[in-house]
Amino acid sequence: MSSTTSRVGKRGTIVVPAALRNRYGLEEGALVIAEEREDGILLRPAVALPVEIYTPERRAEFLLNNAIDADDYRSAVAEVRKLGLDPGAIPHDPPGE
């Protein structure tokens, strides 16, 4: 492992040496995690993954399609009704079909 010295600029900017940016895939606008450690600050590349927010209809589809047997399917139908939806209106394949 090597070490290099950088300066902290205005607004707290730090220049990460090009060799390290290239090695860790840090391009302009890349996300990093700044983690406080007992002996200093650790900077690590970060990954942001999109979060999908499921609609009630999509949740109902998951419930109905993931039922593994008749009892599980009946439970799924009851849960879908609790969501205020008609299970017959949700595209799905009941178990055993």
Which tens digit of pLDDT belongs to each residue from 16-29?
999 999 998 899 99
* pLDDT at residue number 95: 87
The whole-number pLDDT of residue 97 equals 66
Predicted TM-score (pTM) of the model is 0.51
Report whether pLDDT(94) > 70: yes
pLDDT, tens only, 51-93: 989 999 999 999 999 999 999 999 999 999 999 999 999 999 9
Residues 38-50: tens digit of each pLDDT: 999 999 999 889 9
Strand, coil or helix: 41:
strand
Domain ranges of the chain: 10-45, 56-89
Is residue 67 within 8 Å of 80, Cβ to Cβ?
no
On whether the CB atoms of residues 94 and 68 are closer than 8 A, the answer is no
